[in-house]
Structure 1
Amino acid sequence: MYHIVVGIDEDEEHAELCAEEVLKMPGDPSEKRVTLIHSFTDNPSGASATQLTPVRAAGDLLDEAGVEYEVTESSGDPADAIIDAADEADADLIIIGGRKRSPTGKALFGSVTQTVILNAGRPVMVTSV
């Protein structure tokens, strides 16, 4: 069995692509365990990760395929949350949705994906829309 941590942002299409990549991985659904993590940077309404459409969309795809998963959430820096969740679970792989940005955009706004790739200390798969 292997454990995969999937970083879920506010983009439903990214979430679905990440879940689809889990399903494409070799092995039976029973051999995969997934942690879906969403990190709130701003949550004035007090929502839970399970209430977010992207998290539910990814979960629905995993449910349909019979893949065991859990949903976790945090607040603060999303890259740190993803890396911490992967470390805690001793995950075999991190899957995260990437965004196309110019080099200037990355320099000005940072990149969760870039930070995870550089600091995870484990394999990272990046999906792209």
Structure 2
Amino acid sequence: MSETQQTGSPRTSPGTGTSGAAAAPRVIVVGYSSKPEGRAALARALTEARARNAEVVVVHSSPDSELAGLRAELAASGVPHEIKEAADALDPAEELITTADARAAEFIVIGLRRRSPVGKLLLGSNAQRVLLDAACPVLAVKAETV
């Protein structure tokens, strides 16, 4: 399932000040879940999208019951966006990498959980895979501690 919401004004070509018919929109791909690290990743992706005049593609692994809240938050942000359900919930890293490649993303934003001292020796397998295998840069963010 994929849906797109377009908002804002037409994009302009660098240096021309006019709408560029051939200019591809800038894209940021973000991995989202309703966990604190997923929410932190979405917040950072929206901030980056506003600063760069980019579209956000949200690859989510949230239950259907939480999609209405995600849709409302994205609509309220005013950022052009697309919501894409991770086809394989067991391999969200592959979905993020594939989506970023297909959309020629500027970068991917992922959330990291805080870990215990022993857990810090290992990075989560999905995060590690995205960091190592993505063709574009990856921005890893942590959720704020309460």
Q: What TM-score results when the alignment is normalised by the length of structure 1?
A: 0.71
* Structure 2 unaligned blocks of 5 or more: 1-24
Does the CA-based 8 Å contact 2:32-2:38 persist in structure 1? yes
Which contiguous aligned blocks of 4+ residues in structure 1 show a shift greater than 4 angstroms? 26-29, 55-58, 102-110
Q: Is the 8 A contact 2:49 2:56 kept in 1?
A: no
Normalized per residue, the structure richer in strand is 1
Match of 2:20 in 1: none
**CA–CA distance in structure 1, aligned partners of residues 138 and 73 of structure 2:** 21
1:77 positional shift: 1.1
Q: Does 1:3 align with 2:58?
A: no
Match of 1:25, SS state, is helix
TM-score normalised by structure 2 residue count: 0.64
Residue 100 of structure 1 aligns to a residue in which SS? coil
Q: Which has the higher helix share?
A: 1
Taking only the aligned residue pairs, the percentage that are identical comes to 32
Q: How big is the shift at 1:89?
A: 0.9
Give the 3-state SS of the residue equivalent to 2:27 in structure 1.
strand
How many correspondences in the alignment? 117
Tell me which structure has the larger Cα radius of gyration: 2
Unaligned runs of 5+ in 1: 40-48
Instruction: Give the equivalent residue in structure 1 for 2:59.
Output: 37
Superposed CA RMSD in Å reads 2.9
- Alignment of 1:121 with 2:135, yes or no, is yes
